[in-house]
Every structure is written in C-alpha cells, then in structure tokens.
Amino acid sequence: MAFQIPRGTQDILPGEAEKWQIIEAKARDICRRYNYKEIRTPIFEQTELFARGVGDTTDIVQKEMYEFKDRGGRSLTLRPEGTAPVVRSYVAEKMHGWVEQPVKLYYTGPMFRYERPQSGRMRQFVQFGVEALGSADPAVDAEVMALAMDIYKELGLKQVRLVVNSLGDTASRNAHREALTAHFATRIEEFCEDCQTRLHKNPLRILDCKKDRDHELISTAPSILDYLNDESIAYFDDVKRYLDDMGLDYTVDSSLVRGLDYYNNTAFEIMLDGEGFGAITTLAGGGRYNGLVEDIGGPETPGIGFAMSFERLLMALEVQGIQLTDEAPLDAYITAIGDEAKAVVPKLLHGLRAAGVAADTDYTGKKMKAQMKAANRQGAKVVLLIGDEELKDNQVTLKDMETGDQQLVRLEEAPAKTSAWLKGE
C-alpha cells in the first residue's frame, strides 16, 4: 500500500530545508547578541502541565491537544506550545536559584495541535520562542519585543507591525472581568457554547472567540485600558517609553487579549500588513505571565516571552518575494573515469571532508561530461579530475570552475591543496 502523510503535516525537502536552516541561524545569532541561551525540552509532557499552565478555558486545552495514555496509565500530551514546558524546566531545575537573573532562554521545535489545517496553520508546526524569567522590569518587555522585531527586519520583511496592549495586574483584571461579565450576561445565549461556558470562568476569552468575533457586543465590550489601576498604567507607560527610546514603532490595540490564560500586563503581537498573505496576519505573539511559575509549583517569579511560527514566516517571505539562499554551495566535486580511479574516490572524499571541504562525487556511473554538469549544478568551486592515467602517476587535477585554472597535485596532498586553494592560499 502507498502510505500518505498525516493530515496537517508536511515533508520539508532539500531545497526547502535550507531556508529553514537560514531562518534558524538568524534567530540563533540574534539570541546570541541579546544573551539568550538555548533550552531543549521534551516533545511530550504531563497533560496537567498544559491544563494548569495554558488554562482549561482555552481552545488548546479543550479541543486541540494530542493527549494519550502511556503503558503505565499516565496521561501525557504532545506539547501544543513552548512556554509551559520551559517554565516547568525552570522550576524543576531550580533555575530561580541561579546567580544571574533574569534567566533568558530560547527554544525551537515542533508543536502539535489538532485543528483544521489551513494555510499557515498545521497540526504539526514549528515554533521559535524566547522566555525571560526572574525580572519584573518593563525594560525586559521592550527587549523581548525588540528581539522578535529584529528577526523579521534582518530577514528583510517589510510592512511588519508591532501591536501592544496592557492586560493589567490582578486587581485591574478582576475589575475588568466583572465589567465584561455584566456586559455579556444579558445576551450570552446569542454566543456559542464555548463563550457561554467562558462567561463565568474567563470572560476575557469571549473577546478572542473566532466564531463570534463579529457580534456587536464584542466591539462595544469594556476596554481593559479603562480599568487599569495606577500601577498598571505606570508599568505600561514605561514599556511604551522604552519602545520609543529604541525607535520601535508600535500601535496600541485595547482589544488585543492573546489566546492563553497566563498573560497579564504586557501583551503584544507582530502582524504583517499588505495583500497576499491571507486571513492569518499574525506572525508572532507573546506577553508577560507573572504568576505562571507559581501555578506550576515554583516560587513567585515574573516572566515574559513570545513565540513565532516559522511556517508563517516562510509564507511572509515568499509573499514579499524575499529569496533565502544557501550561502555555502559545494566546495569540491570529484569526477572519476575508470574503475581504478573510482576505487580511490571514497578515501579522497573522506580526506577532503576531514580537511573541512564540502565535497561530493557521482555514484551513478555518469560519463565525464555529465559529471561536470553535476558539479556545475551543485555550485562546486573546484573539481578534482581523476582518470586511470593520472592515477598511474599518483596524481589528481584540480580545476578552478570559475577561472578554468588547473594544476596537478599528488593524490595524498589533494585534500590539503584543495583546502588551501579554496582559501586563496
């Protein structure tokens, strides 16, 4: 039988995989400049971690998680997002006791959500994210947003917009929650079943509902900005001031609430304006989550982070016609004619690679002309030509593919000579 790829997944083939590598390398380099260190967490975690961390009123927990029982009867879940596992590790590994605070981390890897696949939204998708744990300084909020914006800008994306909001501290959120409950209560039967459940559990989620987003009560709902207390206002003002100081353009959107329960104070999204990107315009999102560490069993610890989709980033680059190219084509290609010449190729290839040279050869029995075409297609800078006649003299010909210059070298010296030639020595 012919096996089909599971719905909502994709094969990333050679030619496309290199684009992912370029994006990953750019993100890692920017994290290095910002002094964020990589963390790698398991692909599956205890189900309760996400129910408690992400929130049991979210679509993720209620509808989208890949949950299963292991042979010991324990409930496990393929990670649907990256923050809760990082915070779990922060608590379990006692990073709150590290001397240097905040602990600044980044991650990348596959996430899993069971939802209707569409352009830019897969059931297995790759997220890149950062988390800064251990500081309540609003300057860290601005730093995290600047890091995210730098990734898009340095990859060449245009029309990228930063949208920010404040969800307030606990007191502000409670006051806003009461106002929202009163606002929706008299007509809640007009909303979907999920929103009816959310009314008393977490009415803020109603504002983020995909089904009822066009309901008139959504547009007239009380704004969180009207319920911020003095402390929350001062905090948000500081965040905006730091963004201004950095020269980062942004807009304030009081309807921005984000989709997870753990957010408070700063919330933000990065969006792509312009035509051709489809209905999903959000490239990244994040915010502050003071209280999440305590919910997962750790000490009181402030935190902030964001996550971005690599799939959506690649879509955005394609829409804007930005080409990502592999900057390291093949260094050398060995062409061999004759059985005796082919017999020495594996050893020579190994020597080239050990000398730091990216090298390959033909394994399909092509004629010399076809081998040279293959070298050209793969961008080889140098071709090493071996025939039975050269082999009698223990020699190989090095040919510069750009200039056509050639030189004969001893076979055992070919790796070092090729490496030196490529370096211009």
DSSP state of 2: P
Under a CB-based contact definition with an 8 Å cutoff, are residues 217 and 183 in contact?
A: yes
Which of these ranges, 12-26, 137-151, 215-229, 337-351, has the smallest mean pLDDT?
215-229
What average pLDDT score do residues 77-92 get? 96
Q: Is the pLDDT of residue 279 over 70?
A: no
Q: What is the CA radius of gyration of the chain?
A: 28
Instruction: Convert the pLDDT of each residue in 325-346 to its tens digit.
Output: 765 679 999 999 988 999 999 9
Alpha carbons 292 and 261: distance in angstroms, whole number? 9
Q: Is the pLDDT of residue 259 over 60?
A: no
pLDDT confidence of residue 77: 96
Instruction: Convert the pLDDT of each residue in 24-57 to its tens digit.
Output: 999 999 999 999 999 999 999 999 999 887 776 6
Binned at pLDDT 50, 70 and 90, residue 192 comes out as confident
What average pLDDT score do residues 387-392 get? 86
Alpha carbons 138 and 239: distance in angstroms, whole number? 5
pLDDT confidence of residue 53: 74
Could you tell me the maximum CA-CA distance found in the chain, to the nearest angstrom?
94
What average pLDDT score do residues 152-160 get? 94
pLDDT confidence of residue 175: 87
Instruction: Convert the pLDDT of each residue in 295-314 to its tens digit.
Output: 899 999 999 999 999 999 99
In 3D space, the residue among 62, 378, 25 whose CA is nearest the CA of residue 205 turns out to be 62
Helix (H), strand (E) at residue 104? strand 103-112
Binned at pLDDT 50, 70 and 90, residue 222 comes out as confident
Q: Three-class SS of residue 149?
A: helix
The CA distances from residue 127 to 47, 79, 121, 183, in Å, are: 20, 11, 12, 36
Under a CB-based contact definition with an 8 Å cutoff, are residues 79 and 44 in contact?
A: yes
Please state at what angle helix 230-245 crosses helix 138-154, rounded to 10 degrees: 40
What average pLDDT score do residues 119-147 get? 94
What average pLDDT score do residues 378-393 get? 91
pLDDT > 90: percent of the chain: 68
pLDDT confidence of residue 326: 63
Phi, psi of 313 (to 5 degrees): -65, -45
Decide: pTM greater than 0.75.
yes
pLDDT confidence of residue 79: 96
pLDDT confidence of residue 258: 66
Under a CB-based contact definition with an 8 Å cutoff, are residues 327 and 379 in contact?
A: no
pLDDT confidence of residue 196: 83
Burial annotation 218-243 (CB, 10 A radius, 16+ → b, else e): beebbebbebbeeebeebbeebbebb
